[in-house]
Structure 1
């Protein structure tokens, strides 16, 4: 994840410089650029090998998987087969989105156990929960129940050498008797076990401020989705740097956030084609944000 800068000759002098200027710490420990593979959901099922080759050629070193199921695994590939393709392209699947079947709602652990096994084979660092179905997030009690299930799953993940994270959309910021679902999840989960993947687009789209979340919950947001908002239609995405979200203030506070990985995601509105779009985003991030 960390690339060493050749200009650091004397480690003691470098350490002194970082202590004197803490703001340099993030720029000196440059983050690798990740891609949420859902961005390429039209291409992946057709040809996983070719798609991942193009991901690597576009400047990405990390990926986040999606779509695992007990029946179909990853687009018809077993975790072992997918890991080989990733390795061949020097890509690391540091996180994966796993739906966990009905676990969050009824406690059935079958798909959670299968997801943990797949995540171990891929050498994921994080097993990430991407979504809560609408019928199960209508009240404070619903969110408290989800939080407890996340705590339980996180314990199972820890025993397997993994970390559990939760990814947001905008519905978590709806209020229930004066408190948002996201506040409940943050407050009711064990901060030493349950981490959060903050989707910056959905936070901004919901009218909230990521910087405020960082300040109020330092260190909780170990991962981000970096997804830009179209300037004319907020419901659409666009390439990073081409939309209305200014990501620079967020990256300046990466340390307070706790961020260790981030992933570009673009779900629609590609300029030209999706592969050109992910390269445009990667190039902008490399030049302007890290």
Structure 2
């Protein structure tokens, strides 16, 4: 028989548990599925407007650009025209990947200034460095020189209301005279680190360890899954071997605001693929 005391105790526990429910639900990720346009690099130049429409149909709300030049714009569209196409399809662009070789060759800002102009026109918050040529990262002194130039570029971008970010591959984790490029960037700059989760995991890195070591620095991530049978290949998010649920559980620590799907190779139709990844983000990872 349930005594009054037992009943009150149970009721109290239930009430306490009920009060906890909203807190638990607040752990839900308030994310938008984004797509790095490089995923559709074969399709975009042929008909960028049609491709952008299909990206929106696949459930994406954001895109990350690549391949801009002042002469050719984005896939033949000026920055303004491209921005209008995005808006017509209910899309925004938080970031773009822009080539920055001249910065590291001779410290000039021509490419950076063009990128800043395009970012301001399209409403991008971040100008992201997508790659660093091998010749600039051979010694520890090289790495420190890279960080110093990035700091100068970041200060210039900041004056224009734009933030600088860096996207990694695998080489950033290579040991160079007792350190690595990623560690130098994290320690000696204040830019955002757009972690490509696939390349980090493939390099035997634990993204969570980096999140905890440098909290708040990872405002963007590339959500790219690893094929279970062929790890050198990508697959649809949720089909591969990367534990995104575990990683995303630390998104607040990391500071992640933008979850950007990227797939560099496909075994199925690319549009079917990106739709599957978008659905997994929204129904599983953001649930």
CA apart distance, 1:274: 0.5
- Paired position in structure 2 for 1:53: 53
Between the aligned partners of 1:92 and 1:18, the Cα distance in structure 2 is 35
Between the aligned partners of 1:110 and 1:269, the Cα distance in structure 2 is 35
**SS, match of residue 232 in structure 2:** coil
- Paired position in structure 1 for 2:262: 265
**SS, match of residue 94 in structure 1:** strand
Query: TM-score, length-normalised on structure 1?
Result: 0.89
4+ runs of 1 displaced by more than 4 Å?
Answer: 17-20
- Paired position in structure 2 for 1:212: 209
**SS, match of residue 243 in structure 1:** coil
CA contact (8 A) 2:266 2:273 kept: no
Between the aligned partners of 2:152 and 2:186, the Cα distance in structure 1 is 15
Tell me which of 259, 268, 286 is aligned to 2:282: 286
CA apart distance, 1:213: 0.4
1:171-198 deviation line (CA, Å, top 9, x unaligned): 0000012211111111111x2xx11100
Between the aligned partners of 1:126 and 1:82, the Cα distance in structure 2 is 17
- Paired position in structure 1 for 2:68: 68
Count of residues paired in the alignment = 269
Between the aligned partners of 2:135 and 2:178, the Cα distance in structure 1 is 20
**SS, match of residue 233 in structure 1:** coil
Query: TM-score, length-normalised on structure 2?
Result: 0.90
**SS, match of residue 124 in structure 2:** coil
CA apart distance, 1:18: 8.5
Range with bigger deviation, 102-111 or 129-138: 102-111
1:194-216 deviation line (CA, Å, top 9, x unaligned): 11100000000000100100111
1:78-126 deviation line (CA, Å, top 9, x unaligned): 1011001001001001110011241123111111111100100000011
Range with bigger deviation, 96-105 or 228-237: 96-105
1:148-168 deviation line (CA, Å, top 9, x unaligned): 111111111111111111000
CA apart distance, 1:146: 1.0
Between the aligned partners of 2:104 and 2:246, the Cα distance in structure 1 is 34
The structure having more radius of gyration, on CA atoms, is: 2
Matches for 1:78-227 after TM superposition, within 5 Å: 78-189=78-189, 191=190, 194-227=191-224
CA contact (8 A) 1:228 1:238 kept: yes
RMSD: 1.6
CA contact (8 A) 1:26 1:255 kept: no
**SS, match of residue 165 in structure 2:** strand
Between the aligned partners of 1:126 and 1:50, the Cα distance in structure 2 is 25
**SS, match of residue 164 in structure 1:** strand
Q: 1:99 to 1:26 in 2, by over 3 A?
A: farther
CA apart distance, 1:287: 1.2
List gaps (5 residues or longer) in structure 1: 1-16
Between the aligned partners of 2:21 and 2:220, the Cα distance in structure 1 is 25
- Paired position in structure 2 for 1:275: 271
CA contact (8 A) 1:169 1:199 kept: yes
CA contact (8 A) 1:131 1:168 kept: yes
